[in-house]
Amino acid sequence: MDMKWYVLYTRSRCEKKVAVMLTKRDIQNYCPLNRVVRQWSDRRKIVHEPLFSSYVFVKALASDFNTIKQATSDIVNFVYWLGQPAVVRNDEIESIRLFMGEHSNVKLEKITVNVNDRVRVISGPLVNSHGQITEVHNNKVKLHLPSLGYSVVAELNISSVEVVDYPYRAKNTIS
């Protein structure tokens, strides 16, 4: 059986406590901590805050879910995506670890996908396909995939694509 990284949803502001409890129970976990300088009226201090609010990553087998959820009452549940427990690839966890080791005061930005953005599919049956966004509706995008010489339009979940380059934007000219 293959252990995978899953995402736990925790009670608010309990991420570090959950990580400590999981470690005490010998359950491999990762709670990325952001080094941030906080200013009080009388002093400045470096504090370690969770990068992802209410999330802790745990490496486990699916058969261990009940044991993990019972580790502490501060675990709300596993995060699910399309009816399945959300899985994070090993290389993504390692990328986060490396990045957090080299940088402090990191800020998360949610990216948006716009019409005409060129994207790469990062999950699902069309993984690694490149195309162009033709429509955006709520959490779905329509993607034009020209790779076969045909106009194939696929409707995908917005989280299944990543922007690879920005569309051409004409510069303002004075006539």
- Please state the length of the chain: 175
CA distances from 80 to 9, 28, 73, 101, 128 (A): 10, 19, 19, 28, 23
Residue 93: inside a domain: yes
Q: How far apart are CA 68 and CA 58, in angstroms?
A: 9
Residue 112: inside a domain: no
pTM above 0.85, yes or no: no
Q: What is the pLDDT of residues 144-157, one digit of tens each?
A: 766 544 445 567 77
Q: Are residues 129 and 96 in the same domain?
A: no
By DSSP bridging, strand 84-85 and strand 118-121 are: unpaired
Q: What is the CATH number of the domain that holds 86?
A: 3.30.70.940
Q: In the beta sheet, which residues pair with residue 59?
A: 5
Q: How far apart are CA 134 and CA 141, in angstroms?
A: 7
Q: How far apart are CA 40 and CA 95, in angstroms?
A: 32
3 pLDDT above the threshold of 70: yes
Residue 111: inside a domain: no
| Boundary-marking domain end, from 57, 73, 102 | 102
Q: Are residues 9 and 44 in the same domain?
A: yes
Residue 173: inside a domain: no
Closest among 111, 169, 170, 172 to 141, alpha carbons compared: 111
Residue 113: inside a domain: no
169 pLDDT above the threshold of 60: no
116: left (phi over 0), alpha (psi -120 to 50) or beta: left
Q: What is the pLDDT of residues 43-61, one digit of tens each?
A: 999 999 999 999 999 999 9
- pLDDT for 128 equals 79
Q: What is the pLDDT of residues 70-126, one digit of tens each?
A: 999 999 999 987 788 989 989 889 989 988 988 888 887 666 778 888 888 877 767
Higher pLDDT, 155 or 25: 25
Full residue range of the structural domain in which residue 95 is found: 4-102
| 9-18, 111-120, 165-174: range with lowest mean pLDDT | 165-174
Q: Are residues 36 and 95 in the same domain?
A: yes
Residue 131: inside a domain: yes
- pLDDT for 153 equals 57
Per the structure, the count of domains in the chain is 2
- pLDDT for 119 equals 84
Residue 10: inside a domain: yes
